[in-house]
Amino acid sequence: MFEAAVHGLTQLMQPVPLGWLVLGVALGLWGGALPGVGGPAQLAVLLPFAMLMTPINAIAFLIGVASVGNTGNTFTSVLVAVPGGSGSQATILDGYPMARRGEAKRALSASFMASMLGGIIGAFFLFASVPILKPLIRSFGSPELFMFTIWGISMVGILSAGAPIKGLTAGILGVLVSTIGQDEKSGVIRFDVGEPYLWNGISIVLVSLSVFAIPEVIAMATRRGKVAELTPLGETGIWQGIKDTFIHWKLVIRCSLVGVWVGILPGLGSSVADWFAYAHARQTEKNPESFGTGDVRGVIAPESSNNAKEGGDLIPTLFFGIPGGSSAALLLIGFVAVGLKPGPDIINTQLDSVFAIIWALVLSQVLASILCWAFIKPAAQICVLSFHILVPLIVALSLLSAFAANFAIEDIFTLLALSVMGFIMKKYGWPRAPFVLGVILGPKMELYLWLSVARYDMGWLLHPGVIALGLLIIGTFAYPVWRDARARRAAA
């Protein structure tokens, strides 16, 4: 095994594969930083080129592109509250308030350090989890995945401290929005108001832009200020961010494990890893009331999770030959095209390639973070730009991102309509994160409920995993109530 590990690294450290890795990382970061461009869409476009490469070059290039998007997408999430991709939405909740407080450099730096560590932890688990992989995946069927989605939605109570009823309502509203369009299971078209455009549903890119980005732009234009209006940009922010990550190393490890877990479980999707980690942090860390106001832990948690997920994602792809999500499916096609044989045998027949993938994952994370650190200072200057420049810039970026999602002009109108709702939610103190989470988890919730009933009728309710997750959900609701009651008693 040691020999295979060394051989995998040696293959990768040649000038040509290394060059492809650097190019892949640069493209992955670029795609991640531009909302709506990165992720599977970017991978799909680049795949035909990678399929013509030698195996080691293809591994280096594809892993570079696929694994660093969640590092690059932090820039816009933190600086202007525009989610760069589906994996960086939760980062906005504390990252943007930090930027407004003049701590953009600290937030970005903590994010990149957490991303790097999370990515490395994910790569480590990619190999370490092989012996327990099969029982792990087999223990989660459709009923358990359905309960997971319910748990995710129930965490809105945690995400919206002080307004759990509003949070739950927003979450349910998000689930309702996710039902727009043609139901693929039955063919029924729902809530399309006679518009063929709505048959494919509403893109999550549009929802997150309209709920986070546009309301913040409107607020900025209204107050005629800058992003960072409270204090000047601190010069020590970069080191402080790195220190923050190591101070909260336990949180980094825990949230990385959450990310790996979400990655391993095919069917939950990459966009929930950051939310699960954020909710976990909020639920388990001391002084949770500071989350959402610019707490660096609210940046570290999702960022370590969404990069660790990349390693987890590759586990079923490589060792079962079955991808859990779109990006993993595209990677699988690329790997197969250049001669890899993902599946249970890969561990015996192509171990050096598995190690090359693991090393590529580690190197990509390190390289991506270094590149991003280099851009922190110029990027953070965005926070002190006048609203005259910034507002049109963000609006243009948002419109471009909305259009890039499907190249449909109707998306622009949808963005504007949803933005009105996002602005009203912000103005009247309705939590917006649960709404977005509802839109993300709604289709999965519906799918797994459908499959559970189709397979087990009502018998799925008695599955041990379902009962255990049911208790976890009850605990999720009960814990904050118990914690508050205990705090009140202590105060009295």
Token pair 């966009």 in the structure block, residue: 271
Among residues 188, 458, 490, 491, the one that binds another protein under rule CB under 8 A: 188
CB 330 within 8 A of CB 51: no
Read off the amino acid at residue 59. I
Query: Quick check: 199 binds another protein (CB under 8 A)?
Result: yes
Query: Quick check: 329 binds another protein (CB under 8 A)?
Result: yes
Contact positions with another protein (CB under 8 A) in 162-181 = 181
- Please report how close the Cβ of residue 454 comes to another protein at its closest, in angstroms: 5
Quick one: which of 348, 467, 392, 414 has its CA closest to 206?
414
CA distance 382 to 78: 11
Quick one: which of 153, 157, 177 has its CA closest to 167?
157
Query: Quick check: 320 binds another protein (CB under 8 A)?
Result: yes
- Please report how close the Cβ of residue 202 comes to another protein at its closest, in angstroms: 14
CB 88 within 8 A of CB 442: no
Q: By rule CB under 8 A, what count of residues binds another protein? A: 50
Only segment of 66-74, 124-132, 134-142, 383-391 that touches another protein (CB under 8 A): 134-142
- Please report how close the Cβ of residue 306 comes to another protein at its closest, in angstroms: 20
CA distance 127 to 356: 12
Query: Quick check: 185 binds another protein (CB under 8 A)?
Result: yes
Q: Which two tokens stand for residue 358?
A: 């693991």
Contact positions with another protein (CB under 8 A) in 403-432 = 408
- Please report how close the Cβ of residue 286 comes to another protein at its closest, in angstroms: 38
Among residues 1, 2, 138, 490, the one that binds another protein under rule CB under 8 A: 138
Only segment of 70-78, 234-242, 332-340, 474-482 that touches another protein (CB under 8 A): 332-340
Query: Quick check: 133 binds another protein (CB under 8 A)?
Result: no
- Please report how close the Cβ of residue 58 comes to another protein at its closest, in angstroms: 12
Query: Quick check: 343 binds another protein (CB under 8 A)?
Result: yes
Query: Quick check: 146 binds another protein (CB under 8 A)?
Result: no
Quick one: which of 210, 308, 223 has its CA closest to 258?
308
Among residues 6, 45, 468, 478, the one that binds another protein under rule CB under 8 A: 45
The residue count for the chain: 492
Query: Quick check: 326 binds another protein (CB under 8 A)?
Result: yes
Quick note: the x/- pattern for another protein over 240-269, rule CB under 8 A, is: --------------------------xx--
Query: Quick check: 83 binds another protein (CB under 8 A)?
Result: no
In eight-state DSSP terms, residue 68 is: S
Q: Hey, how many other C-beta atoms are within 10 angstroms of the C-beta on 396? A: 10
Query: Quick check: 48 binds another protein (CB under 8 A)?
Result: yes
Three state DSSP letters for 225-245: CCCCCCCCCCCCHHHHHHHHH
What backbone torsions phi and psi does residue 168 show, to the nearest 5 degrees? -65, -40
Quick note: the x/- pattern for another protein over 50-69, rule CB under 8 A, is: -xx-----------------
- Please report how close the Cβ of residue 177 comes to another protein at its closest, in angstroms: 18
Give, for 189, the enclosing helix (H) or strand (E).
strand 189-190
Among residues 321, 465, 470, 480, the one that binds another protein under rule CB under 8 A: 321
- Sheet strands (E) in 269-422: none
In eight-state DSSP terms, residue 210 is: I
CA distance 484 to 189: 44
Count of H-run helices and E-run strands, the chain: 25, 2
Crossing angle between the packed helical segments 273-284 and 464-491, to the nearest 10 degrees: 40
What backbone torsions phi and psi does residue 386 show, to the nearest 5 degrees? -70, 155
| Of residues 25 and 145, the one with the C-beta less far from another protein | 145
Binding site for another protein (CB under 8 A): 40-41, 44-45, 47-48, 51-52, 137-142, 181-182, 184-190, 196, 199-200, 266-267, 316, 320-324, 326, 328-330, 332-333, 336-337, 343-344, 408, 447, 450-451, 454-455
